[in-house]
C-alpha cells in the first residue's frame, strides 16, 4: 500500500524540464498525481528543494562476496540517506557479475529491501580477467544496460573494439564504461605522480596514464560507433580529449566523482588512506578543469565511486591499503558545498549531473525526472542550507570517507522511491 503525499510549497527544481518554481507536488499510487489527493499526508517543504531522486552510475555494493565491507542492504540504505533512488552496482563482486544469475540475485535482494533501485553493471570480460568477453547477451536479456570491468581498465584496444562492436547486436542500447588508466604506467602507483608523491616517497600514477587510455578508448569508440562511458575522470587533459571527442560527434559520456572535484594531491601529505583512490586526486589545475568540464557539460554526470572497505583494511600502511572512499551519503552535500554554494555550478546543472543525466546514461527511465503527472514518484527533498559535519558512524557499513571531519552545507531530509519514503527527517525509514 503506497502512501498519498503532498510536498507543500516546495521549490521544485526539475533539470529535465528545465524548471525551478515553487509549487505543491502530489503523490498517489507511487506516482506523481495531478492533485489534490484526498487524505494525503503533508510534507512541509517551504524553503526546501524538491528534485528527482539522485542516480549514481558508479557504486560498489560488495555483495556477493565482500559482505564484511558492505552489503546490498547497508549500501542501498546509505544511498537512500544520500538522496539516491537508483544506483548502478559495479561488477567486481565474488562471484563476479558476469552472468545473469548474479544480475538477478543483486537486483532481487535490493528490491526486497526496497531502499533504492539497483541496476547491476555487467562485467565486460569473464571474471574481470580482461581476456575473453562475458556473455553480454544473457545479461542484456536480464536487463543490464551498462557493462564495465571497473577497477581494471579494459587491457587492450582489441578487446575494447570487440566489446563495443559486439554490443551493437542488442536491440536495447548498451553502454560500455571503462576505468581509463594505462596499466603498466600506473603499476605500483599509490597517488598522483608529482612533487607531493616524490617527497612522500610514494610511487606515482601519472596523469598521462589516464590521457593515454582515454585517447585510446575514444579512438575505438569512433572506429566502432559504439557507446562509451568514461568512469571517474581525474585529469585536465582527459577532460580536453572528451570535449574534442564530443565536438567530433563521438558517442561518449563521462563522469567525475565528488572527491576529484574537491581534493588535490596536496591533501595526501598526512598519508590519509581515505584519500587513496584510483585514479588519484591530482593537481589544482586538474581539479579546476574537472569543475569546468562538469559546468559546460563535457562531463555529463557526478558519480560517487562509493568504495566501502573494512576499518582494518584502511587502518593499514598506505601502500597496503585498498583504494577508494565511500561517497553515497556525502555526494550531494559535497557538490552543494564546494560547487553550488560558491557559485561555480548552478543548482539545476548540479541536479542534472546527479539525477537526469545518469538516469539517461543508465537507461533508468523511471528515474531522473521529469517531475510531472504520471511519472514514478522518485524524489529527493533537500535543505540546501543545513550544515553538518561528516563523521562516523555512517549508514554505510564502512567508514572510509575522504570527507571525514569536513563541514558540509546541504542535507537530504527525505527520499521517496515510487511513492514510499525511504528517508524521512534525514533518517532511513527501514
Shortest Å distance, C-beta 220 to other proteins: 27
Shortest Å distance, C-beta 268 to other proteins: 9
Helix (H, G, I), strand (E, B) or coil at 428: strand
CA-nearest of 177, 153, 161, 163 to 228 is 177
The one among 37, 203, 212, 219 contacting other proteins by CB under 8 A: 203
CA dist 121 to 38, 107, 165, Å?
Answer: 40, 10, 18
Q: Which residue has the cell 528515474?
A: 367
Binding status of residue 388 toward other proteins by CB under 8 A: no
3-state secondary structure 404-427: CCCEEEEEEEEEEECCEEEEECCE
CA-nearest of 92, 65, 87 to 75 is 87
Per-residue binder mask for other proteins (CB under 8 A), 289-328, x = binder: ----------------------xxx-xxxxxx--------
Which class for 215: exposed (0-12), middle (13-18), buried (19 or more C-beta within 10 A)? middle
Binding status of residue 285 toward other proteins by CB under 8 A: no
Q: Which is nearer to other proteins, 1 or 320 (CB)?
A: 320
Per-residue binder mask for other proteins (CB under 8 A), 337-366, x = binder: ------------------------------
CB 99 within 8 A of CB 138: yes
Greatest CA separation for the chain: 66
Active site residue 217: no
CB 411 within 8 A of CB 382: yes
Shortest Å distance, C-beta 330 to other proteins: 22
The one among 34, 195, 266, 385 contacting other proteins by CB under 8 A: 195
Omega into 283 within 30° of 0, i.e. cis?
A: no
Binding status of residue 271 toward other proteins by CB under 8 A: yes
Query: Rounded CA gap, 180 and 321, in Å?
Result: 21
CA atoms within 13 A on the CB side of 54: 38
Query: Rounded CA gap, 401 and 264, in Å?
Result: 15
Binding status of residue 200 toward other proteins by CB under 8 A: yes
Q: How far is CA 111 from the centre of its chain?
A: 19
Q: Which is nearer to other proteins, 73 or 272 (CB)?
A: 272
Query: Rounded CA gap, 270 and 272, in Å?
Result: 5
Shortest Å distance, C-beta 214 to other proteins: 22
Q: Which stretch binds other proteins (CB under 8 A): 110-118, 201-209, 290-298, 334-342?
A: 201-209
Q: Which stretch binds other proteins (CB under 8 A): 123-131, 195-203, 239-247, 397-405?
A: 195-203
Binding status of residue 32 toward other proteins by CB under 8 A: no
Q: Which stretch binds other proteins (CB under 8 A): 190-198, 341-349, 371-379, 404-412?
A: 190-198
Q: Which stretch binds other proteins (CB under 8 A): 24-32, 33-41, 196-204, 210-218?
A: 196-204
Binding status of residue 225 toward other proteins by CB under 8 A: no
Q: Which is nearer to other proteins, 38 or 317 (CB)?
A: 317
| Residues contacting other proteins: total by CB under 8 A | 19
Binding status of residue 392 toward other proteins by CB under 8 A: no
Query: Rounded CA gap, 21 and 44, in Å?
Result: 16
What angle do helix axes 236-247 and 207-224 make, rounded to 10 degrees? 20
- Active-site annotation holder among 305, 319, 366, 383: 305
Shortest Å distance, C-beta 349 to other proteins: 36
The one among 42, 132, 156, 198 contacting other proteins by CB under 8 A: 198
Q: Which is nearer to other proteins, 37 or 311 (CB)?
A: 311
Strand order in the sheet with 54-59: 54-59, 84-89, 117-120
Query: Rounded CA gap, 83 and 424, in Å?
Result: 11
Name the site residues for other proteins (rule: CB under 8 A): 194-195, 198-203, 270-271, 311-313, 315-320
The catalytic site residues sit at 305
Amino acid at each position: 500500500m503506497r502512501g498519498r503525499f503532498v510536498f507543500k510549497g516546495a521549490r521544485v527544481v526539475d533539470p529535465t524540464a528545465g524548471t525551478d518554481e515553487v509549487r505543491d507536488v502530489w503523490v498517489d499510487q507511487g506516482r506523481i498525481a495531478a492533485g489534490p489527493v484526498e487524505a494525503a499526508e503533508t510534507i512541509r517543504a517551504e524553503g526546501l528543494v524538491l528534485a528527482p531522486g539522485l542516480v549514481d552510475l558508479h557504486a560498489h555494493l560488495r555483495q556477493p562476496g565482500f559482505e564484511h565491507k558492505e552489503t546490498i542492504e547497508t549500501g542501498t540504505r546509505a544511498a537512500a540517506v544520500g538522496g539516491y533512488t537508483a544506483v548502478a552496482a559495479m561488477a567486481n563482486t565474488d562471484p563476479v557479475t558476469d552472468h545473469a544469475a548474479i544480475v538477478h540475485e543483486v537486483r532481487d535482494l535490493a528490491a526486497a529491501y526496497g531502499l533504492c533501485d539497483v541496476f547491476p553493471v555487467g562485467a565486460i570480460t569473464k571474471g574481470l580477467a580482461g581476456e575473453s568477453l562475458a556473455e553480454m547477451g544473457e545479461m542484456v536479456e536480464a536487463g543490464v544496460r551498462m557493462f564495465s570491468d571497473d577497477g581494471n581498465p579494459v587491457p587492450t584496444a582489441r578487446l575494447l573494439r570487440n566489446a563495443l562492436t559486439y554490443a551493437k547486436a542488442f536491440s536495447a542500447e548498451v553502454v560500455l564504461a571503462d576505468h581509463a588508466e594505462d596499466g603498466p604506467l600506473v603499476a605500483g602507483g599509490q597517488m598522483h605522480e608529482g612533487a607531493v608523491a616524490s617527497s612522500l616517497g610514494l610511487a606515482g600514477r601519472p596523469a598521462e596514464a589516464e590521457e593515454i587510455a582515454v585517447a585510446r578508448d575514444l579512438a575505438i569508440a569512433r572506429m566502432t560507433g559504439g557507446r562509451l562511458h568514461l568512469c571517474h575522470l581525474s585529469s585536465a587533459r582527459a577532460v580536453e580529449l572528451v570535449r574534442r571527442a564530443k565536438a567530433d560527434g563521438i558517442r561518449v559520456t563521462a563522469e567525475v566523482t565528488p572527491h576529484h572535484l574537491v581534493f588535490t594531491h596536496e591533501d595526501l601529505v598526512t598519508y590519509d588512506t581515505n584519500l587513496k583512490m584510483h585514479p588519484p586526486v591530482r593537481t589544482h589545475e586538474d581539479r579546476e578543469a574537472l569543475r569546468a568540464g562538469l559546468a559546460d557539460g563535457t562531463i555529463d554526470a557526478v558519480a560517487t565511486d562509493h568504495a566501502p572497505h573494512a576499518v582494518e583494511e584502511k587502518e593499514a600502511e598506505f601502500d597496503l591499503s585498498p583504494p577508494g572512499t565511500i561517497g553515497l551519503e556525502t555526494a550531494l552535500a559535497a557538490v552543494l558545498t564546494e560547487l553550488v554554494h560558491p557559485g561555480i555550478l548552478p543548482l539545476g546543472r548540479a541536479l542534472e549531473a546527479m539525477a537526469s543525466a545518469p538516469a539517461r546514461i543508465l537507461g533508468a527511465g523511471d528515474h531522473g525526472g521529469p517531475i510531472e503527472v504520471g511519472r514514478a514518484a522518485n524524489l529527493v527533498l533537500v535543505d540546501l542550507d543545513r550544515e553538518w559535519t561528516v563523521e562516523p558512524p555512517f549508514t554505510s557499513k564502512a567508514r572510509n570517507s575522504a570527507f571525514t571531519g569536513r563541514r558540509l552545507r546541504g542535507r537530504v531530509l527525505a527520499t521517496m522511491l515510487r511513492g514510499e519514503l525511504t528517508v524521512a527527517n534525514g533518517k532511513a525509514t527501514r
